[in-house]
Amino acid sequence: MQIYLILLLNVIVGAVGNVFFRIGASKLPVFEAKNLLSDTGRMLSSPYVLAGILLLALNFPLYSFLIQKMELAVAFPLVTSLTFLVVVLFSFFYFKESLSAVQYLGIGVLALGLWLLAR
């Protein structure tokens, strides 16, 4: 049971970290390769980007625990796919992003694959 709680926490922390990155990035000017250093400094001054970094850093020990307790061939796809699904939900409800019918089908196939993998 503990491993499922860690898995869920890992997924939520990773998804929210990515959402914070998106919020922070949307408030910044477009990055250019020639201004990489100054743009990186500006990015790191965003509280949302810093929150995303902090959450993804917190994700490191959670994921480390998971791959100690689970096979990597199961843990990695589960974490990645579940995080993807949570980010899609955030994107739809918070950012009001839309999905096409093909993308909905892809999410359904992904969910089926997760169910099969977890068995």
- Quote the pTM value: 0.83
**Rounded distance between C-alpha atoms, residue 67 and residue 72, angstroms:** 6
| pLDDT of the residue at 59 | 94
pLDDT per residue as tens digits for the range 84-106: 989 998 998 989 999 899 988 99
Using pLDDT thresholds of 50, 70 and 90, give the confidence band for residue 43: confident
Is the per-residue pLDDT at 74 higher than 70? yes
- Please check whether residue 59 is in contact with residue 79, taking contact to mean a CB–CB distance below 8 angstroms: no
Phi (first) and psi of residue 77, to 5 degrees: -65, -35
Q: Mind listing the pLDDT tens digit for each residue in 16-41?
A: 999 999 999 888 777 776 676 777 77
